[in-house]
Amino acid sequence: MGFRIDEMVAILDKGQSVRAQTPLPPAVSGHNPAMRSPTLEFNPAKAKALLDLYGYVDRDGDGYREAPDGSPFSFDHASYPTLRERQRNELWKKSMDAIGLRITFNTVEKLPELRKQAQAGRLQSFSYGWIADFPDGENFLMLLWKGSIGQVNYANFDHPEYNALYERVKAMDDSPERNALIDRMVKLIWVYAPWLVETYKTESILVQPWLLNYKKHPFGHEPWKYLEVDVARRPPV
């Protein structure tokens, strides 16, 4: 609730993304456009009230909250050395400072090393994206299944009900019954929050008028054999 997601869309993504409500993007089965998370709103006042409620308050007046037992409290957001990640870190710090949480950025590695550390459970938090391999919500839901721990379940999330639902979903054909189970899994993700689901990325694709038969497919990334160049319309080289 304290993360300035709208600023991320406007500044980091240059408007080339839309706010996500669930981990399942519109192009996959199981996506429910009617679902709206009760916890993904940007609401610093509510975030501060919740922190107060659970005992995370600033006891020494330094502007940052201590843990309920009075000990110093902070969390580290790991990142990799790119301009975009540095900008994201600045936005994280701005967001967390505003609600009184101390955030550090001590773990800076190249992305492959960060993935290895996440697989081993050695990161408190980091930002990562996912490109689906096939157009089914299962490809996203498996990222929080216990069987993916040590592989792509970077959150190391292990919830018995979620695991049982995933086992059922992956064996079912696309159907309203399956979608209802997926909705339940999404609600479990909202409640236990192993992820902050940020955005669905968008692309702008420029096509010359002499390129024929091009139609962007959400999962087919190599359309070259289907394309043709209208030589008569192409300017001379």
C-beta separation of 77 from 71 below 8 A:
no
How far is CA 199 from each of CA 24, 90, 151, 228, 231, rounded to the nearest angstrom?
10, 18, 23, 34, 40
Quick: pLDDT tens for 18-74. Answer: 999 999 999 899 999 999 988 788 999 999 999 999 999 999 999 999 999 999 999
Quick: pLDDT tens for 110-150. Answer: 999 999 999 999 999 999 999 888 899 999 999 999 999 99
Residue 151 main-chain phi, psi, to 5 deg: -125, -95
Q: How large is the C-alpha radius of gyration of the chain?
A: 21
CA-angle at 117, arms to 114 and 118, nearest 5° = 85
Quick: pLDDT tens for 137-186. Answer: 999 999 999 999 999 999 999 999 999 999 999 999 999 999 999 999 99
**Burial (CB count <10 Å: 0-12, 13-18, 19+), residue 28:** buried
pTM for the full predicted model: 0.88
Q: Which amino acid is at 214?
A: Y
Query: What pairing do the DSSP bridges indicate for beta strands 228-229 and 211-212?
Result: antiparallel
Query: What pairing do the DSSP bridges indicate for beta strands 74-78 and 102-104?
Result: parallel
Domains in the chain and their CATH numbers? 5-229 (3.10.105.10)
CB atoms within 10 A of CB 224: 6
C-beta separation of 114 from 129 below 8 A:
no
